[in-house]
Amino acid sequence: MNDIEALGANLRRVARGRVLVRGDEGFDESRLSWDPAVDQRVAAVVEARDAHDVAAVVGYAGLAGLRVATQATGHAPAAFHDAILLRTTALRGLTVRPGERVARAEAGVSWGEVLTAAGEHGLTPLAGSTGVVSATGFTLGGGLSWFGRKHGFAADGVRAFEVVDASGEQATVTADSDPELFWALRGGGGDFAVVTAMEFDLHPAPVLYGGRILWPAKRAAEVLAAFRATTAEAPEELTVWFHILQFPPLPELPEPLRGLSAVAIDATYLGDPDEARALLHRFDRIPEPVFDTRGRMPVANLADICAEPTDPTPSLLRSELLTGLDEATAAAMLAAAGSGTVAPLAYVQIRHLGGALARMDEKGGACGRIAEPYLLSMLGVPAAPGMEEAIRQRQSAVADAVAAVTTGRKPFTFLGHGEPAASAFPIETLARLREVKRRRDPQGVILGNHPVLG
């Protein structure tokens, strides 16, 4: 029996879920992530059945000198060279306790599932633009939600994590039981323990307003001016994101979106629809919208606003936090993003942050605060060979155009593939995270997608 066969035999002995190792039939499919361009060169894949399986695999890895990379949906992959890839997809328990405004979600539960369950009670979790990422993966990285301006980072709403620590022990981690690990898990990423479930706050959303207005790209300058003016005076209940989009010429896309170069704003408001319309009045004056989906909406439909792809897609992301967005910067950004189309990018997005995200919470986690009021993100889909370079060049051109208002810092959940954790944290936060990692996982058994010691 060679080493890899022995690994398979040992993992099958300790875990009840499916185990595949290099060379097994189906292994290459099982190690795929959501981004088919990222080659996850792991040694084995274990589909954990429950928290006991997780503990058994982590415990075994520690004894065998191996590393464990945890993945739920695979939306933020990494190479994870020679590690054991631990899939949490089967951990699907979800309970909502509306009276306490709390949910408990196991590690494989998606935001879409939590939105549906919480929405039935007029409550919302702090989910972001898509329903398909896991609530746990999003939250471990801090998590920038539609409602972050009002309620802060998703991570700071966690009451308890159920974990398997680096020594393979199961524990419930709270602010009282283990303040150090609790702090690191709230925004430091998946480098400190495997989370099997978490309990977190839900927020009242008896009336939710939201939607997208989309115009042809030639309206970009007017829409960006209205976005700047609207966000300058927005209450924390209102969140507006600006988008320049290039829709692909795919037959499955409906006309008029097929191949369209467009500009859009996406908005949510935690409150009365009439108040929301009044706050967004500047956008009503911009002519020729292709469509306007704004209106009262169920919490369960939150992810429909941006309608992001839900099928596996190769992607190259670059993000920059912006310290401001004055007229000159906005004009330079638009010019660099491309007149008429942002291709080869699929989109350039500016999210309005601020509010509770900018306030320091002394009891908060490693996510800290984001003082910058805007987040610029640029995403390209390298669908054909040779596109990667063109996408990176356009991202650099836009980043250079706004260089006067960037600091190089990015939110953890907006780090691109291969970007270091160091880009996400102030120096003292990074040092503290590294100290926690060294103390709590001296052997380096747990491997996050952006390791803090990397």
Beta bridge partners of 201: 102
195 in contact with ligand FAD (CB under 6 A): yes
Residue 276 token pair: 């929301």
Quick note: the x/- pattern for ligand FAD over 15-54, rule CB under 6 A, is: ----------------------------------------
Q: Which is nearer to ligand FAD, 109 or 262 (CB)?
A: 109
- Smallest gap from Cβ 221 to ligand FAD, in A, equals 26
319 in contact with ligand FAD (CB under 6 A): no
Q: Which is nearer to ligand FAD, 219 or 437 (CB)?
A: 437
Q: What are phi and psi of 213, to 5 degrees?
A: -115, 135
Of 60-68, 74-82, 281-289, 361-369, the segment contacting ligand FAD by CB under 6 A is: 74-82
Q: What are phi and psi of 238, to 5 degrees?
A: -100, 130
CA 162 to chain centre: 21
- Smallest gap from Cβ 325 to ligand FAD, in A, equals 19
**Residue whose pair of structure tokens reads 């185990």 in the numeric block:** 19
CB 129 within 8 A of CB 163: no
Long-range contacts, stretch 356-363, CB < 8 angstroms, 24+ apart: 356/148, 356/149, 356/150, 356/151, 356/152, 356/236, 357/144, 357/148, 357/149, 357/152, 357/153, 359/152, 361/152, 361/156, 363/156, 363/175
Q: Report how far apart, in Å, the C-alpha atoms of 192 and of each of 82, 165, 269, 376, 433 are.
A: 19, 7, 35, 28, 9
Of 69-77, 231-239, 354-362, 395-403, the segment contacting ligand FAD by CB under 6 A is: 69-77
Q: Which one of 38, 45, 76, 322 is in contact with ligand FAD (CB under 6 A)? A: 76
**Residue whose pair of structure tokens reads 């398979």 in the numeric block:** 8
Residue 230 token pair: 């609207």
Q: Which is nearer to ligand FAD, 72 or 226 (CB)?
A: 72
70 in contact with ligand FAD (CB under 6 A): yes
As a whole number of angstroms, the distance between CA 385 and CA 12 comes to 39
Please report, as residue ranges, which positions from 139 to 158 form the binding site for ligand FAD (by CB under 6 A): 140-141, 143-144
- Smallest gap from Cβ 128 to ligand FAD, in A, equals 2
Q: Which is nearer to ligand FAD, 72 or 262 (CB)?
A: 72
CB 303 within 8 A of CB 131: yes
- DSSP-assigned letters across all residues of 156-172: GGEEEEEEE-TTS-EEE
* Listed residue (142, 440, 82, 105) closest to 319, CA to CA: 142
Please report, as residue ranges, which positions from 93 to 122 form the binding site for ligand FAD (by CB under 6 A): 107
Q: Which is nearer to ligand FAD, 96 or 317 (CB)?
A: 317
448 in contact with ligand FAD (CB under 6 A): yes
138 in contact with ligand FAD (CB under 6 A): yes
Beta bridge partners of 200: 103, 158
CB 337 within 8 A of CB 398: yes
- Smallest gap from Cβ 56 to ligand FAD, in A, equals 15
Quick note: the x/- pattern for ligand FAD over 117-136, rule CB under 6 A, is: -----------xxx--xx-x
Q: Which one of 17, 59, 62, 77 is in contact with ligand FAD (CB under 6 A)? A: 77
Quick note: the x/- pattern for ligand FAD over 410-429, rule CB under 6 A, is: ---x----------------
Residue ranges that bind ligand FAD, judged by CB under 6 A: 70-77, 88, 107, 128-130, 133-134, 136-138, 140-141, 143-144, 189-190, 194-195, 308, 413, 448-449
